[in-house]
């Protein structure tokens, strides 16, 4: 049996195909763009083509992400909170605190020893501290978003960005550049700002995280600068990240599709 998970977020659309033993057969991550229906069709085609599996062979599809109800062929829709928890349980077993920084939402989740969500907190309405924020900052720094994660290497100052509103922060970054502050110092300041926000979210679900393994999922987990800054902010040695953090939600959705099918017998 084959199961498909589709995570349609505001920035990226991800899909994962698994078999009944939870082996990943193929995965795909593409930009959502302005037409999410097109993105859904394309990401599905990508995973089918890559695995050589026919659409008719898929036993069940679970969709997640903000556009979860846009997946017409779904057998069910589950929120990204539950799906990321399910996905991380498979990728990094034993995770008790999960951070997911998505395109427009940041989330902190506390998981029980079985990987179930027992509490969660999400960012306020503004995009501060989200993937969209990082995208705007990369634009202001005139670097590719993928370069941002390494940009703070060698930074020595403790620059503090005074504004965490995406719009104001962008203009502040522009002012810092105009004032001669180096890219790496600004990048470090941005990472620290995101880390402070993220740490605040984590504290809402767990005041004391001692002894609780922390992991991070979502595309921003590829940004090593942010991940390290979060670990420093939380005063822990390491924030664990999966090899492919961007597919965590889609993988969780595929696993839920499998589990629901097995439950039905």
Binding region for other proteins (CB under 8 A): 66, 78-82, 104-105, 116-120, 122, 124-125
Query: Contact, 230 vs 209, CB < 8 A?
Result: no
CB of 36 to other proteins, least distance (A): 12
* Minimum CB distance to other proteins smaller for 59 or for 104: 104
CB of 178 to other proteins, least distance (A): 30
Element containing residue 228 per DSSP (H, E):
helix 224-233
Query: Contact, 39 vs 57, CB < 8 A?
Result: no
* Minimum CB distance to other proteins smaller for 42 or for 203: 203
Whole-angstrom distance, CA of residue 239 vs CA of residue 256? 25
- The two structure tokens encoding residue 255: 């696993």
Phi, psi of 229 (to 5 degrees): -65, -35
CB of 110 to other proteins, least distance (A): 10
* Minimum CB distance to other proteins smaller for 22 or for 204: 204
Pairing of strands 97-101, 24-31: unpaired
* Minimum CB distance to other proteins smaller for 81 or for 155: 81
Query: Contact, 249 vs 7, CB < 8 A?
Result: yes
CB of 260 to other proteins, least distance (A): 13
Whole-angstrom distance, CA of residue 226 vs CA of residue 187? 9
CB of 105 to other proteins, least distance (A): 7
Phi, psi of 166 (to 5 degrees): -55, -45
* Minimum CB distance to other proteins smaller for 55 or for 124: 124
């Amino acid at each position: 049996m084959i199961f498909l998970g589709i995570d349609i977020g505001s920035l990226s659309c991800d899909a994962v195909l698994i078999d009944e033993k939870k082996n990943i057969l193929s995965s795909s991550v593409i930009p959502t763009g302005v037409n999410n229906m097109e993105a859904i069709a394309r990401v599905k085609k990508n995973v089918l083509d890559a695995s050589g599996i026919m659409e008719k062979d898929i036993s069940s599809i679970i969709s997640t992400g903000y556009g979860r109800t846009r997946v017409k062929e779904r057998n069910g829709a589950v929120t990204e909170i539950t799906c990321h928890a399910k996905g991380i349980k498979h990728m990094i077993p034993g995770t008790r605190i999960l951070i997911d920084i998505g395109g427009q939402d940041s989330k902190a989740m506390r998981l029980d020893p079985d990987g179930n969500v027992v509490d969660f907190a999400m960012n306020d309405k503004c995009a501060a501290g989200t993937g969209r924020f990082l995208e705007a900052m990369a634009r202001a720094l005139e670097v590719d978003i993928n370069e941002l994660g390494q940009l703070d290497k060698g930074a020595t100052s403790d620059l503090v960005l005074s504004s965490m509103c995406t719009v104001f922060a962008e203009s502040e970054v522009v002012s810092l550049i105009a004032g001669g502050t180096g890219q790496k110092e600004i990048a470090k300041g941005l990472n620290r700002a995101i880390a402070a926000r993220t740490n605040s979210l984590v504290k809402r679900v767990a005041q004391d995280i001692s002894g609780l393994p922390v992991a991070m999922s979502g595309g921003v987990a590829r940004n090593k600068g942010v991940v390290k800054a979060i670990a420093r902010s939380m005063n822990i040695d390491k924030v664990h990240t999966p090899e492919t953090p961007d597919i965590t939600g889609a993988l969780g959705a595929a696993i839920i599709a499998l589990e629901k099918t097995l439950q039905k017998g």
